[in-house]
A and B are shown apart, each in its own frame.
Chain A
Amino acid sequence: MEAVETIHEPLALTAILIAALPFGAFILLMFFSKTIGKKLSGSISTLFTFIAACLSLYIVVQAFTTEPNIQTVVQWFEIKGTPYNIRLFIDQTTALMLFTVCFVSTLVQLFSQEYMKEDEAYSKYFAYLSLFTFSMLGIILTSNLLIIYVFWELVGLSSYLLIGFWHHKKSAQRASKKAFLLNRIGDAGFLCGLLSLFLLFSTSDLQLIAQNFQAGNISAEHSTILFIAGFGIFCGAVGKSAQLPLSSWLPDAMEGPTPVSALIHAATMVAAGVYMLFRTSFLFTPEVNLIIAFTGVITAFAAAFAALTQTDIKKVLAFSTISQLGYMVSAIGVGATESAMFHLFTHAFFKAGLFLAAGAVIHALHHAAHESHQHFDAQDINLMGGLYKKLPFTTITFTLCGFALAGIPLFSGFLSKDAILAGMLHFSLHEQNSLLMIIPLLGFLTAVITSFYTGRQLIKVFGGKNGWKGSAEVWNHIHENTIKIKLPLAMLAGMSLFLIFSLNPFNAESSWLMHILGATPTEGEGHLLIVVISALLSLSGVGVAWLVYQKESISISKLVSTENIFYKLSYNFWYLDRVFDPGLKNILIKTSTTLAKFDKKWLDKTIDNFAIGQVVIAHVIAWVDRIMVDGLIKTLVWFTGKAGNFSRKIQGGKVQSYISAALVTTLLIALFFIFKF
């Protein structure tokens, strides 16, 4: 392979190196883990990713100062003289994505060194993590949809491996299979979209597609194919980013180790879907955009509603991820793509921080349970409370990240969520369609719910009127984690503050990130209102949570019992799983049973009868063969044998028979002469 066209070669090579480093770590740990040893393997993988993170930081700096677009085109193969090229493309957004993925992955691996310390398959775990990082970097770096699809599937594979990492647990097996299968459904759509794009533009290079598209080479009659393409790519994103109706794998994916959840939810897997939508957003027709916007906002609301009643510390976070992803997807649909990416970045840091903090809590409780020889569910928030006394550091980091999630002013989440809400409102006001007001309304509603359940979780885990609800013995054994866990938490919590992203804590448009992402300033009149509304909403959500769970001045159990239909809907995530099992499952089974019956009755019968006919004919032919052909030969043989036996007897060694023969012959000759003459 040789480079066809390169802009700024050293940087392009650096970018390839960034992707190659985690892959190298994967190869090393997968095939040479015995020689490397358990202790070193985690450090190697972390170091490799750390180097990649440093390199990507260098690329970010370069992209912002000198080279806003780095690319290299490499010819892969040639069909009938038409070259098939792979393009490596880095602009400022890509560079930031690169850095985010590498940075979060490094922190997660550092965290995992402590968290997974006692696991038997320690080095395999790090190998999978490296593969995961590598696949994600591949999606980010390449600009060829086919190659992206390959990496897209690799992300699916590595998530399958990591979710099912504790494969001795039956539930982990099920969860990994579920994640894989639901993703396949979306990926089928992605493949359709990819192929339709290839049909339209006869290339799968996103850069070229964008050029062609903007040149207006697409006539109106192609709008159906364009719709299919956009919808197909959206389907892929629905699978990867866990939007409705394919979201139920994400809560189940909590069966994997907690750092893996952090990686999946923050930077790698679910971000891939949104990133993909961002890169292809120019293709979407208005109808596709509408579908995207509605799917996203409905997902955001549904998942936030489900998060209200969860009792598993990780499940609350899982549903919040689905909800936040819904925001991002919806933002893409309403045309606020840069806000979506902004939220993707801020969300990556605070969600990774939340998951790692949750992991820290689980880890600490596990240790305590282990040391006090007691068994209890270390993830049930109903059993926790008052942990701020024992885990002050974790509490602070969790709170900081949690406030970012809740969208409290002065935190990063506020800026990005505010930008998305503004985008939604702008879209629906612009379209002059009152039905579209549903989008921003659901968005605001979700914002309240989000801050409420974040507050609920914070108080239930760390605060609470009654404090710790478990046994005192466990309580005495809880102590703060080591530096390897604290360091990632501190960094991620730091990244959740507004200062990192914008000097003005109340206006996302002053953020440097939004300028890079290409946001055009919206008209300012309504914006202050949105800022005020969303700040009030998020604060009131947390405030109500404080009243309900900390002060307990409102008794929630009286208002909503566990038997309540809304409670059940929320706890079971709208019974979405029932759609698949037994709903879809039964339909599938019934269809296939019917098809099987048809197969047996008609297709098999025909083939069977044909076979029987064949056998009968074969028997007849065999009979003819045996009797006629073989008979003829056998008769010949018999005759020859008899003749041979007869002639043999004449010279059978009996002297007297020779003599008699000679005598008879002589007599015959004599008679012949006598009567002839």
Chain B
Amino acid sequence: MFSPVVFLAVSLILFSCGVTVVLIKKNAIIILIGIELMLNAANLNLVGFNQLYPTSQHGQVFTLFVIVVAAAEAAVALAIILKVYQFYQTAQPDDIHELGDK
């Protein structure tokens, strides 16, 4: 069994990667991947902290729940991205600025 610190460290790295990807990448799909990364970092956190309370299974279950919701969310997000692509002929959020100034 790994200690929770290892979990936290991996989770930190993973979250940081996710944030970085979200902030830096231009493509909406890659941003979506970044978001997934951050979600999974949170999952890792949940699992890691659950180690401190071996009798309780709440963390594990919550993680599973999050995975399910993330799958649904990914589906919705992908659908949105597809629709946006169809409408604007691009999947890059920077190019979509109809409400901003030119």
Binding site for B on A (CB under 8 A): 648, 651-656, 659-660, 663
Contacts and interface: CB of A to CB of B under 8 A. Distances in A.
Contact of A659 (B23, B97, B100, B101): B23
B101 A652 contact: yes
B92 to A, nearest CB: 10
B61 to A, nearest CB: 27
A655 B101 CA distance: 14
Consensus secondary structure, chain A interface: helix
B23 A660 contact: yes
Contacts of A656: 22-23, 31, 93-94
A653 B97 contact: yes
Contacts of B94: 654-656
A656 B20 CA distance: 11
Nearest to A653: B100
A651 B101 CA distance: 10
Listed from nearest, the 6 A-B pairs whose CB atoms lie closest are A653-B100, A653-B97, A655-B93, A652-B100, A656-B23, A660-B23
10 contacts: A652-B97, A653-B98, A653-B99, A654-B93, A654-B94, A654-B97, A656-B93, A656-B94, A659-B23, A663-B23
B78 to A, nearest CB: 17
B17 interface: no
B74 interface: no
Interface string B78-102: 0000000000000001100111110
Contacts of B93: 654-656
A660 B20 CA distance: 10
Interface of B: 19, 22-23, 31, 93-94, 97-101
A663 B20 CA distance: 11
B36 to A, nearest CB: 15
B64 to A, nearest CB: 26
A664 to B, nearest CB: 11
A656 B70 CA distance: 21
Contact of B19 (A648, A652, A653, A663): A663
Nearest to B100: A653
Contacts of A648: 101
Contacts of A653: 97-101
A572 B12 CA distance: 132
Contacts of B97: 652-654
Contacts of B22: 656, 659
B31 to A, nearest CB: 8
Nearest to B24: A656
A656 B21 CA distance: 10
Contacts of A654: 93-94, 97, 100
A309 to B, nearest CB: 104
B88 to A, nearest CB: 13
Contacts of B23: 656, 659-660, 663
A191 B91 CA distance: 103
Contacts of A660: 23
A149 B79 CA distance: 109
